[in-house]
């Protein structure tokens, strides 16, 4: 097994879905196969979007891409993808975080290795990049945000966790997911449009998974919606959903009284979407919710 860096460009001819598959040409097949069952980090060149290293995931398998000669797909292990809390630049203090991208004096090289779409990454460099993007103190930072009280055992739990263990620890992933989703939506409820904060400045909006993790959903922002507590509850129970235009809010009218829907949801019944198109809900996730959750509530959950 080998850890990797995978180069991703949103406008590329390669059809990546970072939390699901990575599309690449045959020349990188050997390196990609070495990465099966191990972790990798995604990198987007600054000129292609400005994110640098932006997420981590684990490769489950590598298979040919059907109908495309010489193309392959690295399949991402379900539930492993996690966006960085803060994007990590290629250079730190003027020096590349990857030794392969530096010359003998530690200065950045031009061309060559940095253009490789799939490149091997030593364990220590992987750890450094991930720790910069997903700090060990993330849970402490979130717990103490807006003047909150940090539980006494939180610091010991967070700081004693090795990098790989943190990446699989559900509480840590939930904090990272919640921070990124709420930030993407500007701390505004996607269905009501309201941006509510309590007296201490804490945002009242929550982060909802569109497709639950236990149902093969990911922790990608594109599998999330920022929702108020009530609308989060309604969404999880199928009382509301989103149409196939990825904008129109659907309401189960036979279960939700119109006056309640009118008070909770924007009058035009349109989602308030993130400014960054890379963060908008993925149509496949919304389709899953409509097919498997919407309208399928129990009588005792009717409002």
What is the residue extent of each domain of the chain?
A: 4-133, 135-168, 177-301
- Kindly report the CA angle at 185 between 135 and 200, in degrees rounded to 5? 70
What lies within 8 Å, CB to CB, of 200 at 6+ separation is 146, 147, 148
Residues 283/275, Cβ–Cβ less than 8 Å = no
Q: Out of 1.10.1790, 2.30.130, 3.10.590, 1.10.1330, which CATH number does the structure's domain 4-133 have? A: 3.10.590
* Tens digits of pLDDT across the chain (303 residues): 899 999 998 888 999 999 999 999 999 999 999 999 999 999 998 765 578 999 999 999 999 999 999 999 999 999 999 999 999 998 898 899 999 998 888 888 876 666 789 999 999 999 999 999 999 999 998 887 766 665 555 545 544 568 899 999 999 999 999 999 999 999 999 999 999 877 667 788 999 999 999 999 999 999 999 999 999 999 999 999 999 999 999 999 888 989 999 999 999 999 999 999 999 999 999 999 999 999 875 555 544
Q: Is the pTM of this model over 0.75?
A: yes
Q: What angle do CA 58, 59, 61 make, to 5 degrees?
A: 155
């Amino acid at each position: 097994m080998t850890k990797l860096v995978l180069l991703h460009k949103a406008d590329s001819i390669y059809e990546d879905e970072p939390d699901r598959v990575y599309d690449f040409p045959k020349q990188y097949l050997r390196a990609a196969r070495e990465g099966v069952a191990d972790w990798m980090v995604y990198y987007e060149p600054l000129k292609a979007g400005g994110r640098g290293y932006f997420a981590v995931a684990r490769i489950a398998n590598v298979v040919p891409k059907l109908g495309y000669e010489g193309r392959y797909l690295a399949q991402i292990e379900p539930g492993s993808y996690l966006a960085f809390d803060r994007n990590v630049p290629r250079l730190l203090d003027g020096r590349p975080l990857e030794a392969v991208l530096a010359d003998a004096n530690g200065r950045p090289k031009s061309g060559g290795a940095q253009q490789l779409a799939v490149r091997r990454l030593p364990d220590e460099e992987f750890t450094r990049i991930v720790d910069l993007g997903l700090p060990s103190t993330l849970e402490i930072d979130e717990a103490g945000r807006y003047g909150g009280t940090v539980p006494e055992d939180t610091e010991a739990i967070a700081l004693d966790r090795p990098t790989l263990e943190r990446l699989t620890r559900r509480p840590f992933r939930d904090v990272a997911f919640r921070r990124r989703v709420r930030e993407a939506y500007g701390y505004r409820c996607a269905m009501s449009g309201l941006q509510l904060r309590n007296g201490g400045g804490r945002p009242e909006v929550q982060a909802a998974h569109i497709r639950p993790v236990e149902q093969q959903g990911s922790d990608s922002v594109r599998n999330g919606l920022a929702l108020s507590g009530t609308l989060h509850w309604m969404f999880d129970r199928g009382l509301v959903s989103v149409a196939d235009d990825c904008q129109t809010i659907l309401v189960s009218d036979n279960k939700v009284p119109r006056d309640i829907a009118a008070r909770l949801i924007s009058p035009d019944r349109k989602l308030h979407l993130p400014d960054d198109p890379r963060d908008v809900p993925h149509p496949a996730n919304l389709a899953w919710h409509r097919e498997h959750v919407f309208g399928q509530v129990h009588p005792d959950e009717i409002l």
